[in-house]
Structure 1
Amino acid sequence: MDKVAEAPKKRFPIHLGFGLLIGCLGWLIPYCGLAITLLPAKIGQIDPSHKVAWVATFSATAMVVAAISNIIVGALSDRTRTKIGKRTPWIIGGTVFTIIFFYLISISTSIQMMLVLYALYQIALNSCVASLAAFIPDRVAPEHRGTASSFVGIAATLGNSGAGLIAAHFIIHINFGIYVFAGVAILFEVIALLLIKEPGNVDEPREKLNKASSIFKTFALPIKGAHDFYLALSGRLMFTSALNMITGFQLYILTDYMHLGTGKTASTISLISTIMLITGVICGVIAGPFADKIGRYKLPVAICMMMVGFGAFFPFFDAHPWTMMVFTFINGIFNGAYNAVDQALTVAVLPDEQTAAKDLGILNLANTLGQIVGPLLAGAIIASMGYKMIFPTVMVICLVGAGLILLIKRDK
């Protein structure tokens, strides 16, 4: 483990916090801008008749490659020893290859080639994702990890909301938009690494991969002391699946369940995005330091899950836009707080900080699987019972997820 994390710190390293914020925005904004807006637009230009099927194929492929590469890259970065540290080389490499793949995607006129390039981009992307996440256990003392998590949570809120607003300006000039996002990746990651200033770790001990046991420890799922780890993984999977049940079908909930027209739907979605952005950032700023102050993470995380579940019950009672606004407001507050604290909780339950990046990659499987499980479950409920029953189901799943989090014993 990095020596920086061994000694308690009197003050939170603010430069590291802003490095995490900017670094996360450096991969999140380009990724969301490409995946959500520009890539579907380019696919629509090349093959408009089959664009829906192609977008689904791209999404499924990306999730599989991302899940695997996050774990493998994380494990390799845990073992990296260089004069610029063990995470920095992977962030530099991931950013360089992101630029290359963005350029190749922009000039490609073949859907099949774009699919291959997009899959390879996921490996470059997760070189940054896995390495940045590991800076919290590497460089932040336990008493400040909630605050560090807040910076990551704020980045998630800003990145998810801001990317769409930026990408919308490049729908006509798609390739230029891709170049803009490539520039964002370079600029933000360079600034982030200058702020983080990871020290060299050439002399840090490293177990040799000359035995089956050491290879297993490096790449396999954790077993020893992993009870809390898997509770956190299961709780996060429940929560992300529940959220994706609603967000994945948000458009159809407004049009088919609440029967809004095109204009009203567009304005409602815009209002929802604005509310989520404002409440998410404000609560993200507050929640992490508050969790550090009380010295507990699992209770705030569990409360956030339960409150989001409670908010999801409003659209069940009344199929009108005001109920979605109530849910959005509650979701913005408590999902923003959740994003700010959950990362600190997951760091607290790591079985071995020597394999932090790999194990955080495994925990990120919950996010990936949640994006698959949530819409699939919602689709089955809609087909059999209608949109109305999505909302009580979300509430139950959130409560189960919160219960799993409360069973965690290690909470500091």
Structure 2
Amino acid sequence: MLDPRAPVDRFILLYALAWAGGTIGYVPLLSILLPVQVAGLAGKTTGVDWLAYIALIGAIAASLAGILFGFLSDITHNRRGWIAAGLALSCTLLLVIGRMTSLPGIVAAIVAWQLGLNMMLGPLAAWAGDLVPDDRKGLLGGLMAFAPGLGALSGALVTIPGLADGQARLGLVALLVAVCVLPVVLNNAPPLLERPQAPSEQHRARGLALRMWLARLAVQVAEATLFAYLFFWLLSLDPTVSDNQTARLFSLIMLVSVPLALLVGRWSDRTDRPIAPLQICALVSALGLLGMALAPGVTGAMLAYGLFGVSSAVFLALHSAQTLRILPRPDRRGRDLGLFNLANTVPSLVMPWLTIAIVPVAGYPALFGLLALLAASAGLLLQKVSPAR
């Protein structure tokens, strides 16, 4: 007899692959290929300023596009079509970016590419809420945890010496994205899940959604700050720390957090406790940050950061899936997830000013103490979040 869950489980696996494809779509470009291209046009000194400018404009374009295309996929009831169109447009624009020979041209191409990328990612995020039942959202979140690692791995792949260079690297990225995303677009999707909500339920859901958003924002600010400034902090503790040691620390955290997120996600499904792992991870993240603030040497600092890095990675992966439980209006899921995505983009605007304001005056321990309070507040915010059954 055919297992009725088989279509859903197949969709979840293909969806997780597509989500990784979305990550592959931007990680190699923004972390490696774009900086190299900008440095080649502007030089290393002014290139840094141009990269900051591009990152700011790109983040604004991504935020607005996520809301717009999520909303359009809501009102047209056609997630698949928007995902396919965004895939085609973003992959084409990757090739266009590689052909740009002026910095203003790169800025314009990046904005257009962000529109195409989020034409794909906004509806894709909402599609999981349409089709994945609540008792599989922990599994979904665990599988989505593979995406950052695959994004980083793709960057290492396309930059292998002799494999490809310049324009060909961006073409290879586009190919990888298409290979990952097309299977879920072409797959026969499971039945649509819709549970009509009464006005009273929508009112309650708005409050829960706000708590979930604030909790993610708090953890995301801490994660973004540490991602950007970890190496400088470690150097302040030990001038002999190398960039390779820092990279290996990031890799180790990734290797530990991905299977852990999958295990914890499955546990939350089986026990029907979707929010408890998020609370625990937020509080453990706060302990890791507190340990970093008090660390006397580089070994203790790395261990404390490892605790923070693993717990925050698991939190962010599972949070993405469990958010789908508490959105106030299923018929506006795409729009609301676009608004939720601001919790991922706002930290990149807040983090530099936060660091500049605190570190020169009070040092890194004060910064980590503040971030620990933010992470702990995320755990407290989630204490009263109880999704409707």
User: TM-score w.r.t. structure 1 length?
Assistant: 0.85
1:226 paired residue number: 206
- CA deviation profile, 1:208-262 (whole Å, cap 9, x unmatched): xxxxxxxxxxxxxx9784111111111111110111221121121122x22333x
Equivalent runs, 1:310-349 vs 2, <5 Å: 310-349=287-326
**Alignment counterpart, residue 61 of structure 2, candidates 53, 62, 65:** 65
Structure 1 residue 198 displacement after superposition: 3.3
Alignment equivalent of 2:282, drawn from 305, 323, 342: 305
Q: Tell me the residue number matched to 2:335.
A: 358
* CA shift for structure 1 position 265: 1.6
Q: What percent identity do the matched residue pairs reach? A: 20
1:12: Cα distance to partner? 7.7
Distance 1:12 1:223, change over 3 A: same
Q: How many residues align?
A: 376
Distance in 2 of aligned mates of 1:56 and 1:79: 35
Matches within 5 A, 1:4-403: 13-48=8-43, 49-81=45-77, 86-159=78-151, 161-169=152-160, 173-195=165-187, 197-198=188-189, 225-255=205-235, 257-261=236-240, 264-403=241-380
Q: Quick one: structure 1 residues 234 and 19, their matched pair in 2 at CA, closer, same or farther if it must change by over 3 Å?
A: same
Structure 1 gaps of 5+ residues are 1-8, 205-221
SS state at 1:351 partner: coil
Aligned to 1:219: none
Whether the 8 Å CA contact 1:305–1:338 is kept in 2: the answer is yes
1:248-289 residue CA offsets vs partner (Å, 9 max, x unmatched): 21121122x22333xx32221122122122112111211111
1:318 to 1:142, Cα distance in 2 relative to 1, 3 A: closer
For 1:278 and 1:408, the matched residues in 2 are separated by 30
TM-score for both structures, normalised by structure 2: 0.90
Which sections of structure 2, spanning at least 5 residues, go unmatched? 195-201
Post-superposition, which runs of at least 4 consecutive aligned residues in structure 1 deviate over 6 A?
none
In structure 2, how many angstroms separate the alpha carbons of the residues matched to 1:320 and 1:164?
A: 32
Shift in alpha-carbon separation, 1:317–1:182, aligned structure 2, 3 A: same
Check 1:224–1:335 CA distance in 2 against 1; reply closer, same or farther (3 A cut): closer
How far apart in 2 are the matches of 1:340 and 1:40?
A: 27
Deviation at 1:319, TM superposition (A): 4.7
Q: Is the 8 A contact 1:12 1:144 kept in 2?
A: no
Per residue, is there more helix in 1 or in 2?
2
Q: Assess if the C-alpha contact under 8 Å between 2:12 and 2:132 holds in 1.
A: no
Give the 3 Å change call, closer, same or farther, for CA 401–98 of structure 1 in structure 2.
same
Q: What is the rounded CA distance, in whole Å, between the counterparts of 1:127 and 1:71 in structure 2? A: 9
2:92 & 2:39 partners in 1: Cα distance? 22
Residue 394 of structure 1 deviates from its aligned partner by 1.4
Question: Could you tell me which amino acid in structure 2 is paired with residue 71 of structure 1?
Answer: I
Q: Say whether the 8 Å CA contact 2:225–2:351 is kept in structure 1.
A: yes
Deviation digits for residues 362-393 of structure 1, max 9, x if unmatched? Answer: 11110111222233212211122122222211
